Amino acid sequence: MKPPPFEYHAPATVDEVCALLGSLEDAKVLAGGQSLIPLLNFRLARPAHLVDINRVDGADRIYERDGGVAVQALARQAAVEDSELVARVCPLVVDALRLVAHRVIRNRGTVCGSIAHADPASELPAVLLALGGHVVARSTRGERTIPAAELFAGVFETALAQDELLVEAWFPASGKPSAILEESRRHGDFALAGVVRAGDRLALFGVAPTPVLADPRDPGRGLKPSGDLEATPDFRIHLVRALSEKAFAA
């Protein structure tokens, strides 16, 4: 299938990106495109403008700051997965990335793009939430920090404004013990349910409209997951309980 018509923009700086997002109506940012392009092809997304940020120089850094790891907007998932710095400071991120789709997808997909896409079955938003990380958003109005606990608003929805670019995600050092476990039909498929342990904190994904923090003593309490052809609500609750027990036993 072919995407619907749109006007294409290829800015060269972050300031140019922010200016476009601030002046255009109904614009989408293109980074890795591993989520956006399928949505366009299936006509599930119909933006009037596409702002391609791949020509922005210096927006793919992975660096250490404030006791954690900062990942900029164009850092590819494979590069973060292979980073010695990330493996040393925040190995939980590396563990999570190895569960994201397949390597060919991670070669192009970005960490920040996955977080901004906010798929409730995605691993990286849950990792950011479990660790208590944040993102940095920029617009022509300035720059602001959004904690993970305030970022995810619903299915594919975040607190990012239409004119804001997610320029960086920051993950605190994960240390030990930490773990990410999920259950899927096949490796690389979206998880039916998953859990992220970061010390005494537990985040769940695939069982609510957003990643959620849960009580490790009773991770299924209050959950009302949806059912589909892949799993019933009761089965998803069973999975998070079993996976949580395994994560904390480890």
Q: Are 70 and 36 within one domain? A: no
Residues 6+ apart with CB under 8 A from 138: 14, 18, 164, 165, 167
DSSP symbol at 91: H
> How do residues 149-189 score in pLDDT, each as one tens digit?
999 999 999 999 999 999 999 999 997 799 999 999 888 88
Q: Which residue is listed with tokens 């933006």?
A: 47
Q: Is residue 1 part of a domain?
A: no
> What pLDDT shows up at residue 175?
79
Domain of 100, CATH number, reads: 3.30.465.10
Span 112-139, mean pLDDT? 98
Span 33-52, mean pLDDT? 93
> What pLDDT shows up at residue 190?
87
Q: Are 212 and 233 within one domain? A: yes
Span 124-132, mean pLDDT? 98
Backbone phi, psi, residue 134, to 5°: -155, 170
- pTM of the predicted structure, to 2 decimals: 0.96
Q: Are 163 and 204 within one domain? A: no
Please give the mean pLDDT across all residues of the chain: 96
> What pLDDT shows up at residue 188?
82
Domain of 19, CATH number, reads: 3.30.43.10
> How do residues 194-224 score in pLDDT, each as one tens digit?
999 999 999 999 999 999 999 999 999 999 9
Q: Are 157 and 76 within one domain? A: yes
> What pLDDT shows up at residue 1?
67
Give 2's pLDDT tier (boundaries 50, 70, 90).
confident
Res. 248: pLDDT tops 90: yes
d(CA 90, CA 87): 6
Count the domains in the chain.
3
Res. 15: pLDDT tops 80: yes
In the chain, the percentage of residues whose pLDDT exceeds 90 is: 92
Res. 24: pLDDT tops 90: yes
Q: Which residue is listed with tokens 């590396």?
A: 94
Q: Are 78 and 107 in contact (CB under 8 A)?
A: yes
Provide the residue range defining the domain that includes 92.
Answer: 62-172
Q: Are 76 and 101 within one domain? A: yes
Q: Are 188 and 161 within one domain? A: no
Q: Are 126 and 194 within one domain? A: no
Residue 243 or 250, more confident: 243
Q: Are 30 and 120 within one domain? A: no
